[in-house]
């Protein structure tokens, strides 16, 4: 039986209420004979990253589809294809653009896999970064509209797993990806015995998700480790898109405020329960779709206006280009506005388009799309997305 007392859980070390301070860290290639300078990370959560000479790989929305996530990471050359979930990217930098949550059954397993790869990558002189999307912020808000029944089950399993685990949060969390399939198989056997409409089990899953993702909860604190806007070298990564007023507000300030909210550090009596400029509204960082609109649907003056806004944003950040997810691209990953914006959400999850995975590779400041050879599935499988 699942206990719902947070005091019994191995919480992330960073979940303890404390003032967030700016941090700077670096890690270098552990191999001998390399001339690459170490990666330097500034901000808490990471906001500015200097990764000299590194290959950068960006992966879009994953939406709880572990199989597609693994396939995309294998295509990117950062994950082994032997099922051992080993980092094969050497000193590369991987950036995942958010929306790991909702529409799929294996959300926590994907988060666990990405954390495991980050640990392995750092040992090789590489790194893994994630940015939070609108579905991450929705779940911390308690908005579970797009949660699949299997994802509620995963939350119940994971909470029970944490209560049974004898070690610290970091080890437990990293191990989850490897054991989640066993828990899922055992649950399916149990469900066959008790029947598919077990309301007690469903209620347990909803409560478990609320415990895990509420501000200050274990998985909300895990998400709090990630930014909503991240600059790696001369490239900006975010889920929806940055606008000039976001930059004027300060992306490091936004990142800290979102992190504090997720950690439950914002006072309950404050008038602002969450950082709206980053997480709420059509023009917030995680919801903005301005740069992802189909240019063929726009008039020339609209195209010029959007390009002017984009260039103003990039100039203020000292960036070459921006990479976004959030809006599925029916034609695959692509760039617009003289390749100042790259749109790489291809709807790869079976809960969205179930399309072939694609990833963006940046080498020597030049970008290209890596596509699989597998045929695209029917786009008629698309569901209403948000």
Could you report the per-residue pLDDT of 336-378, keeping only the tens digit for each? 999 999 999 999 999 999 999 999 999 999 999 999 765 444 3
Segments in the chain below pLDDT 50? 1-8, 10-11, 13-22, 32-33, 193, 269, 271, 375-386
Look at residue 2 in the predicted model and tell me its pLDDT.
41
Look at residue 272 in the predicted model and tell me its pLDDT.
56
Look at residue 14 in the predicted model and tell me its pLDDT.
42
Q: What is the pLDDT of residues 52-99, one digit of tens each?
A: 999 999 999 999 999 999 999 999 999 999 999 999 999 999 999 999
Over the chain, what HEC string results? Answer: CCCCCHHHCCCCHHHCCCCCCCCEEEECCCCCCCCCCCEEEECCCCCEEECCCCCEEEECCCCCCHHHHHHHHHHCCCECCCCCCCECCCCCEEEECCCCCCCCCCHHHHHHHHHHHHHHHHHCCCEEEEECCHHHHHHHHCCCCCCCHHHHHHHHHHHHHHHHCCCCHHHHHHHHHHHHHHHHHHHHHHHHHHCCCCHHHHHHHHHHHHHHHCCCCHHHHHHCCCECEEEECCEEEECCCCCHHHHHHCHHHHHHHHHHHHCCCCCCCCCCCCCHHHHCCCCCCCCCCHHHCCHHHCCHHHHHHHHHHHHHHHHHHCCCEEEECCCCCCCCCEEECCCCEEECCCCCCCCCCCCCCEEEEEECCEEEEEECCCCCCCHHHCCCCC
The yes-or-no answer on residue 226 being catalytic is no
Look at residue 372 in the predicted model and tell me its pLDDT.
79
Task: Point out the catalytic residue in the list 63, 135, 239, 246.
Answer: 135
Look at residue 386 in the predicted model and tell me its pLDDT.
41
Look at residue 209 in the predicted model and tell me its pLDDT.
98
Look at residue 172 in the predicted model and tell me its pLDDT.
93
Look at residue 195 in the predicted model and tell me its pLDDT.
55
Look at residue 197 in the predicted model and tell me its pLDDT.
56
In the chain, the domains with their CATH numbers are 38-142+222-368 (3.60.21.10)
Look at residue 135 in the predicted model and tell me its pLDDT.
98
pTM: 0.89
Q: What is the pLDDT of residues 193-207, one digit of tens each?
A: 455 557 777 899 999
Look at residue 73 in the predicted model and tell me its pLDDT.
98
């Amino acid at each position: 039986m699942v206990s719902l007392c947070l005091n019994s859980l191995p919480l992330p070390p960073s979940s303890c209420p404390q003032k967030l301070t700016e941090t700077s860290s670096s890690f270098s290639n552990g191999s001998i004979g390399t001339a690459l300078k170490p990666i330097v990370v500034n901000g808490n959560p990471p906001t500015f990253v200097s990764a000299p000479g590194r290959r950068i790989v960006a992966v879009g929305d994953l939406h709880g589809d572990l199989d597609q996530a693994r396939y995309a990471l294998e295509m990117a050359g950062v994950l082994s294809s032997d099922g051992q979930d080993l980092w094969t990217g050497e000193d590369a930098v991987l950036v995942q653009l958010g929306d790991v949550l909702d529409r799929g059954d294996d959300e926590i397993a994907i988060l666990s896999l990405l954390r495991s790869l980050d640990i392995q990558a750092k040992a090789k002189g590489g790194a893994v970064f994630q940015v939070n999307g609108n579905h991450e912020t929705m779940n911390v808000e308690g908005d579970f509209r797009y949660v699949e029944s299997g994802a509620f089950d995963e939350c119940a399993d994971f909470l029970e797993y944490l209560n049974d685990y004898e070690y610290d949060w970091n080890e437990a969390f990293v191990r989850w990806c490897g054991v989640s399939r066993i828990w899922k198989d055992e649950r399916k056997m149990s469900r066959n015995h008790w029947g598919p409409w077990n309301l007690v089990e469903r209620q347990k899953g909803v409560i478990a998700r609320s415990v895990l993702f509420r501000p200050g909860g274990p998985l909300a604190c895990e998400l709090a480790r990630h930014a909503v806007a991240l600059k790696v070298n001369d490239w900006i990564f975010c889920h929806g898109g940055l606008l000039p007023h976001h930059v004027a507000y300060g992306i490091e300030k936004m990142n800290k405020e979102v992190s504090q909210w997720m950690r439950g550090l914002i006072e309950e009596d404050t008038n602002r329960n969450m950082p709206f400029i980053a997480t709420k509204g059509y023009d917030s960082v995680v919801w903005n779709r301005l740069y992802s609109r189909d240019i063929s649907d726009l008039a020339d003056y609209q195209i010029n206006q959007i390009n002017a806004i984009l260039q103003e944003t990039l100039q203020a950040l000292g960036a070459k280009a921006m990479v976004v997810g959030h809006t599925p691209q029916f034609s695959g990953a692509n760039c617009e506005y003289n390749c100042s914006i790259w749109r790489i959400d291809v709807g790869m999850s079976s809960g969205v388009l179930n399309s072939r995975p694609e990833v963006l590779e940046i080498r020597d400041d030049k970008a290209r799309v890596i596509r699989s050879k597998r045929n695209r599935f029917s786009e008629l499988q698309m569901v209403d997305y948000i």
